[in-house]
Structure 1
Amino acid sequence: MDPLEQSTKLGFTPKAMSILDYSIFCTLMLFSTLIGVYFAFFAKQKQNTTAEYLMGGKNMAIFPITMSLIASYISGVSMLGVPAEIYTYGTQYAAVLISEALVCFVTAYVFMPVFYKLQLYSSFEYLLLRYDSSVRLLLSVLYCIMTISYTPLIIYIPALAFSQVSGANLHIVAPITCAICIFYTSLGGLRAVVWTDTLQSFSMISGILVVTILGTLDVGGFGVVMERAANSDRLEFFNLDPDPLVRHTFWTVTIGNFFMWLAHLAANQAILQRCLALPTIEKAKRALISLAVGTVIFVIFSVYSGLVIYAKYHECDPVHTQAIRKVDQILPFTVMDFSNTIPGFPGLFIAGVFSAALSSMSTNLNSLSGVILQDFIKPCLRGRQMSEKAASTTMKVIVVVVGTFCTALVFVVDKLGAIIQLSRTISGVTAGAMLGIFVLGMTVPWINAKGALIGGISSLFVAGWVAFGSQQAIASGSLRFQTKPMSVEGCSYAFPPTNSTINGQAIEEAFWVFRISYLYLTVIGFVTMVLIATLVTLITGPNDPRKVHRDLLSPLVHRFLPLADKDDEPVAETLLVNETEYIKALASEGPAK
C-alpha cells in the first residue's frame, strides 16, 4: 500500500504533488542530464583522459569545487536524517558543527599539503609510496566496501521522500534516479559531477530554507518554536556526561564525529579529487575552509528545522498515528503540509532531496571508478600500457556496473533502522582503520608496513564486531534508545491504536560493548589500529625516519624529524608520480625506492 492510500485509510487526508511540482522536479533532473551530455560531447575538454575524467584537467575554478564539496556533504541522509534526529532525540547532535569545522582546518593544513605535493590519481597510491602494495590493497578494498555499502543508503533517501509526497513506489523511483545519475556521471566525468553539484546545491539550500521560514511563521514565530522545544526537553547542547554508553552527549558527538568526519574528509578519494582539480594548494585550502563555513550553516538550519517540525506536530505525532511509516519521512510530510502556501514548493523540495542524493552518489561513483582502475585493474596489467582512451572507457563502464549493483541493494536498506545512525555505523566500521593508517603514515615515520597492515586488519575486525553486535541488538529489541516526549492529544483525525508507547523508553539488555555510542565506532577502530600498529612495529623493527622521504610526511612534523646524514641520503630520493614508474613499482610489489 502506498503512503497516500495508507494515510487516507487512517482518516488523514494527504496532499498530492501538483503538475507544477512535477514540472520543477523534472526540469532539474533534465538539466543534470544535459550537463553530462555537454561535457561528454560538446565541451572543449573531452573526458577521454584519466586526468580529465578524474581531476577535471586540474584547472577548475574554486567556486564550483567549493559548491561541489558542500553539495557532497549535504547528502540526502543529512537533509532528511538530521531534522528527524532532532525531532526524535533533541538537539545534542548539533555539537557536530564544532568537530566538522575543526576537521576542515586540520585537513587543509595537515593532510592536503602531502596529497597536493604528490599529485596522485588515487589517494591509495600514497600507501604504496609510504608503506607497500599490501597496505595499499587493504585500504583500496576497504574503501570499495564502504562506498558500495553506503551508496544504496544515499539512493534510498530521495526515493523514500518521493514516495511520501507522491505515493509512488520507492522501488520504482530508485532505479529511475540511479539511471539519471549513472548516465551523466559516466559520460561527463568530474566536470559534470562538479557542475551538477553546483546547480543542485541551490535546490538543496532553497528547500531547507523555505521549510524553516514557513514552519516558523506557521507555529507563531521563533519564540514559540524554542518554547515548545524547551518544554519537551529537546534543547540539549552541553550534556557533559562522560559515559560512552549514552547515545549522544557533548563528548560522544564532538569527539566521535571528529574522528569520523576526519576519516571522511582527510582520507577520502572523492575529496582528494576535488582538491587536486584546483591549480594551486592555496585554492585547495580555501575550498576546504569554505566547506567549513558551509557545513556549519547547514547544520544550524537542519537542527532548527527539526525543532520547527516538532513545534508544528507537538500535539499530534504523525509517526505514532501512522500517517507516515518512518520518522525519516517527517520532513517531506511537513513539506506537503505547506504545499498550498507556495505553489511548486513540494517539487522544489523533492528536487533538492534528489539533488543531494545525486551529488553524493555521482561523487562516489566517479571516485570509485578511479580507485578500481588505479588500484586493481592497472596492477593486474603488470607493466603493460593502457591507453588514455581505454582507461577513460574502462572507468565509464565501472560507473555503470557499480551504480547498477548499488541500485539493487536499495531493497535491503528499506528493512533497516534510522538513517543517521545506520549511515554512521556503516562508515564507522572501515573509517577507523583508514584514518589510522593515513595519520600514522603522515605523522609517525617510524611505523612500518607490517604494523600498518596488521593494525588495519585488527581495527576492521574489532569495529565490525561492535557494529554488527549493536545492529543485531537493535533489531532484536534488546537495545532501544530513549526518545524525547511526543503527544497525539491534539490530532484532528482518527488513527488506529498501536502496541508502541508514545514515549519510547530505553531498553539496555544488550552486552555493554554493543551499547557504546555509535559515534565512538570510528574512535574504537582508530585506537585499535594505532595500538596494534605500534606494537607490531616495535616487534618487527621500526623504520629509520631518515629513509622516509619528507614529501610523504605532513609539513607540521618536519621540524621534529632527525636530519638525514649528508653521506646517508634518504632512500626515496624521488617519488613515483609518473604513472609508468608507478606501474613498475606495483609489478615489483615494493615501496618507492
Structure 2
Amino acid sequence: MDHPPVKSFAVWDYVVFAALFIISSGIGIFFAIKERKKATSREFLVGGRQMSFGPVALSLTASFLSAVTVLGAPSDVYRFGASYLIFLIAYAFVVIFTSELFLPIFYRSGITSTYEYLQLRFNKPVRYAATVIYIVQTILYTGVVVYAPALALNQVTGFHLWGSVFATGIVCTFYCSLGGLKAVVWTDAFQMIVMIVGFLTVLIQGTTHVGGLPIVLERVINGSRLNVFDFDVDPLRRHTFWTISVGGTFTWLGIYGVNQSTIQRCISCKTEKHAKLALYFNLLGLWIIVSCAVFSGLIMYSHFKDCDPWTSGVVSAPDQLMPYFVLEIFDTMPGLPGLFLTCAFSGTLSTVASSINALATVTFEDFVKGCFPHLSDKLSTWISKGLCILFGVICTSMAVAAPLLGAIIQAALSIHGMCGGPMLGLFSLGIVFPFVNWKGALGGLLTGITLSFWVAIGGFIYPAPDSKTLPLPLSTEQCVSSNITGTVSQVLSSRPAIADTWYSLSYLYYSAVGFLGCTAAGIIISFLTGSQNGKDIQPLLIRPVCNLFCFWSKKYKKLCWCGVQHDSDTEQENLQNGSAWKQGAESGLQNELRRHSPSHVPGYDPNDKSYTNIALEKITQF
C-alpha cells in the first residue's frame, strides 16, 4: 500500500520547539541566582512555604495534565466518543475531597513529606513501605510521560526519538536541581499557558479547516461521538458514566489527595486558605484543558471521518493521531505545528519536573534525614540537588520500558490505579478510622497492592474481549488505497475463566479495588490484633468523617473518636485557623529543644518558624 509521505518540521517549528526548552532552563537559572542566599533544604524543597495560590494552581494543572492528556485524550475521544467529558465530574469530587479532607491534615501538621504523616500516625515501617511504593509508582509513570510525546513526534515527523527523550530529561533535571520547587512551580505556570495557547490554535484552525462549527457538530453527531452518557453498570465496560465518575474519582484522588507531588505544592503555600484556593483554581484549569482536549478529538474526527489514518495504516498507533492531524491542518503555516507539539512537551516537562522534585523530597525527608539527622543546611541542600539529578537520570532511563505498556492514557492511569488506590486506602485508614493500628495499616496496604496488581497484570496478559473495548466505527472509504486490513480481533482461545470477569475489569476500577481491599483488610486486621488506643493519637492527625452522621449526639460523636482526646468545640475552633495549635506546638518545642541542647540542631534559631519539623524529629529521637 502507498502511504502519504511523512510530514516534517519547518525551521520555524524547531525554533518554537527550542524556545520552550530555553525558557524553561532560564527560569531554573533565574531562581538559582535569586535564591542563592537562602541555601536551605526547606527553601529548595518547599519554597520556604511562601508561595501564593496563583502559580501553584497553574503548576498543579500542568503537572497532572501532561502529554497523556494532550495526545491521549483527543485520540480517545476520536475513537470512543466524548464520554471523556465525564472526567470533569470526577475532578470536582477529587478536588473537594482533597481540599476538605486530606489537605487540612497535611498542612496543619507541618510536614514536608506526605509520608511523615504515616510515622506520626502509625510507625516508621508503615512510612517506609509507603515511600518505596510511591517511588516505584512515580518512576514508572514518569517513564510513560517522557516516552509518549517523543514517540509521537518521531513517528509523525521523523524527529529523533531518543534525542527528544534525553533532551526532556536533561532540561527537567537541570532546572529542578538549580532552582528547586520555586523553579518547578513557575516553569509549570509558563508551560500551562503554552498548553492553553497550543490547544486554542488547534481548535480555531481545525474548525476553520473543516468548514465551521455547524459542520463539525453535524459530523460528530452522525458519527455517534456525542453520546456522552452511557449508564450501563457493567464494570467490564471500558468507559461508562459509572466507570469514569466512580472509578475516575478513586484514580485521581489517589493522584491528588495523598500524592507527594500535589501535597508538596499545597504545603508550599503561605496559608491554608491559599492552598485551598490553589486546588479550586486548579479545578478550573483541569476543566479548561480537558474540554480543549475533548473538542480537539471531536474536530479531529470530523476532519478524518472518511479516511481514518489509524485503520488505513498511515499512523501506526492511536497516540500519533493528534500530531498527524496538527501537521495536516497547519501544512502551510510554519511554526504552528511546532507550537502544538511544544504544548505536548510542556505537559511532559511539567510532569517530569514535578515528579523529580517530589521524589527528591521524599527520599531526603524519609531516608536521608533518618540516617543522618545532624546534616547542616548547606550539605542538606547539596544532597537534595544531587537527588534531583539522580532521579532525573532514573526517570529518563525508565522511558525505555514505556513501549511495553500500551496506549499512553490507559497505561498512565493504570499505573496510578495500581499504586494510588492502595495508598489512598492507607491514608484514609489513618485519617478517617482512629481505631486502626499499624498492623492493620501495613496489612491493608499489602492487601490492596496485591489485589490491584493482580487485576491489572491479569488484564495486561489477557486483554478484555473486543465487545467491551472496541472503538466506534471508523471509515476508510475515501483513503488513497483500498488495500486496508482492519484491526485484528483478539484471540480468545486458551483464556482462563477468570479472564472474562476479573481480568476484564475496566482499568479505571483498579484504584477502587486497591482502595477497598486496603481499607477492608486494615479494619479487620486492626480488630483482630487489638484496636489502636485513641489516647496515643494526636487529634490533629485524624478527621473522622463519620462525625457528619453523629451531629445530633455528643455521646455518639465522642464514640466516633475512639478515645482520642478531643474537645469538639475548642478543638474545631483552633483547627479552623491553625494558629492556636501552631503557637502551642512551637512554644513546647522551644522548651524541649532548650532542655535537650539546641546545639544538636544546626542553625537553630528560636525565632525562626522553620525549625518545627527538625524539632519534632529531635524530640522523637530523645
User: TM-score, normalized by length of structure 1?
Assistant: 0.91
2:450 maps to which residue? 461
Is 1:421 paired with 2:410? Answer: yes
SS in 2 for 1:358: helix
- What is the deviation of 1:584? 4.6
1:244 maps to which residue? 235
Match of 1:173 among 161, 164, 171: 164
When residues 144 and 111 of structure 1 are mapped into structure 2, their CA distance, relative to the original with a 3 A threshold, is same
Q: For 2:420 and 2:359, how far apart are their aligned partners in 1?
A: 16
Is 1:37 paired with 2:29? Answer: yes
1:490 maps to which residue? 478
Is this contact kept in 2: 1:481–1:505, CA < 8 A? no
1:569-588 alignment runs, 5 A limit: 578-584=612-618
1:488 counterpart letter in structure 2: T
1:20-419 alignment runs, 5 A limit: 20-40=12-32, 42-44=33-35, 46=37, 48-381=39-372, 384-419=373-408
SS in 2 for 1:529: helix
Q: For 2:38 and 2:150, how far apart are their aligned partners in 1?
A: 30
When residues 564 and 163 of structure 1 are mapped into structure 2, their CA distance, relative to the original with a 3 A threshold, is closer
SS in 1 for 2:234: coil
Match of 1:431 among 402, 411, 420: 420
Is this contact kept in 2: 1:478–1:507, CA < 8 A? no
SS in 2 for 1:294: helix
Match of 1:515 among 504, 510, 533: 504
CA deviation vs aligned residue, 1:430-461 (integer Å, no higher than 9, x gap): 11111011112111111111101101001101
CA deviation vs aligned residue, 1:27-73 (integer Å, no higher than 9, x gap): 12101111111111x20454621111111111122221111111112
- What is the deviation of 1:101? 1.5
Is this contact kept in 2: 1:11–1:495, CA < 8 A? no
SS in 2 for 1:409: helix
When residues 467 and 218 of structure 1 are mapped into structure 2, their CA distance, relative to the original with a 3 A threshold, is same
CA deviation vs aligned residue, 1:217-259 (integer Å, no higher than 9, x gap): 2212222222222222222222111111111110011000111
Taking every aligned residue pair, what percent have the same amino acid on both sides? 36
When residues 359 and 565 of structure 1 are mapped into structure 2, their CA distance, relative to the original with a 3 A threshold, is closer
SS in 2 for 1:67: helix
1:446 maps to which residue? 435
- What is the deviation of 1:479? 9.1
Is this contact kept in 2: 1:133–1:586, CA < 8 A? no
- What is the deviation of 1:352? 1.2
When residues 506 and 221 of structure 1 are mapped into structure 2, their CA distance, relative to the original with a 3 A threshold, is farther
- What is the deviation of 1:136? 0.6
Q: For 1:245 and 1:330, how far apart are their aligned partners in 2?
A: 26
Q: For 1:401 and 1:299, how far apart are their aligned partners in 2?
A: 32
CA deviation vs aligned residue, 1:325-351 (integer Å, no higher than 9, x gap): 211011111110122354311111111
1:535 maps to which residue? 524
When residues 77 and 50 of structure 1 are mapped into structure 2, their CA distance, relative to the original with a 3 A threshold, is same
- What is the deviation of 1:166? 2.9
Q: For 1:587 and 1:58, how far apart are their aligned partners in 2?
A: 25
When residues 235 and 143 of structure 1 are mapped into structure 2, their CA distance, relative to the original with a 3 A threshold, is same
Q: For 2:9 and 2:347, how far apart are their aligned partners in 1?
A: 20
Q: For 1:458 and 1:565, how far apart are their aligned partners in 2?
A: 31
- What is the deviation of 1:99? 1.0
Is this contact kept in 2: 1:10–1:323, CA < 8 A? no
When residues 479 and 422 of structure 1 are mapped into structure 2, their CA distance, relative to the original with a 3 A threshold, is farther
1:490 counterpart letter in structure 2: Q
2:598 maps to which residue? none
Q: For 1:269 and 1:535, how far apart are their aligned partners in 2?
A: 28
When residues 478 and 161 of structure 1 are mapped into structure 2, their CA distance, relative to the original with a 3 A threshold, is closer
Is this contact kept in 1: 2:6–2:158, CA < 8 A? no
Equivalenced residues, count: 569
Q: For 1:478 and 1:250, how far apart are their aligned partners in 2?
A: 19
SS in 2 for 1:218: helix
Is this contact kept in 1: 2:58–2:189, CA < 8 A? yes
2:2 counterpart letter in structure 1: L
When residues 205 and 189 of structure 1 are mapped into structure 2, their CA distance, relative to the original with a 3 A threshold, is same
2:24 counterpart letter in structure 1: S
1:196 counterpart letter in structure 2: T
1:11 counterpart letter in structure 2: H
When residues 101 and 45 of structure 1 are mapped into structure 2, their CA distance, relative to the original with a 3 A threshold, is farther
SS in 1 for 2:472: coil
CA deviation vs aligned residue, 1:294-329 (integer Å, no higher than 9, x gap): 111222111111111111001111112221121101
SS in 2 for 1:168: coil
Q: For 2:21 and 2:38, how far apart are their aligned partners in 1?
A: 21
CA deviation vs aligned residue, 1:264-302 (integer Å, no higher than 9, x gap): 111011111111111111111111110111111222111
1:527 counterpart letter in structure 2: L
Q: For 1:465 and 1:479, how far apart are their aligned partners in 2?
A: 22
- What is the deviation of 1:511? 3.7
Is this contact kept in 2: 1:154–1:361, CA < 8 A? yes
Is 1:545 paired with 2:579? Answer: no
Q: For 1:586 and 1:155, how far apart are their aligned partners in 2?
A: 40
User: TM-score, normalized by length of structure 2?
Assistant: 0.87
Range with bigger deviation, 224-233 or 69-78: 224-233
Range with bigger deviation, 185-194 or 405-414: 405-414
Range with bigger deviation, 146-155 or 211-220: 211-220
Is this contact kept in 1: 2:68–2:408, CA < 8 A? yes
SS in 2 for 1:115: helix
Range with bigger deviation, 213-222 or 173-182: 213-222
When residues 530 and 213 of structure 1 are mapped into structure 2, their CA distance, relative to the original with a 3 A threshold, is same
2:581 maps to which residue? none
Q: For 1:565 and 1:144, how far apart are their aligned partners in 2?
A: 35
- What is the deviation of 1:418? 1.1
Is this contact kept in 2: 1:184–1:192, CA < 8 A? yes
Match of 1:471 among 439, 444, 460: 460
Q: For 1:208 and 1:39, how far apart are their aligned partners in 2?
A: 29
* Structure 2 spans left out of the alignment, 5+ residues: 552-556, 572-583, 590-610
Q: For 1:270 and 1:22, how far apart are their aligned partners in 2?
A: 31
- What is the deviation of 1:195? 1.0
1:39 counterpart letter in structure 2: F
* Structure 1 spans left out of the alignment, 5+ residues: 1-8, 589-593
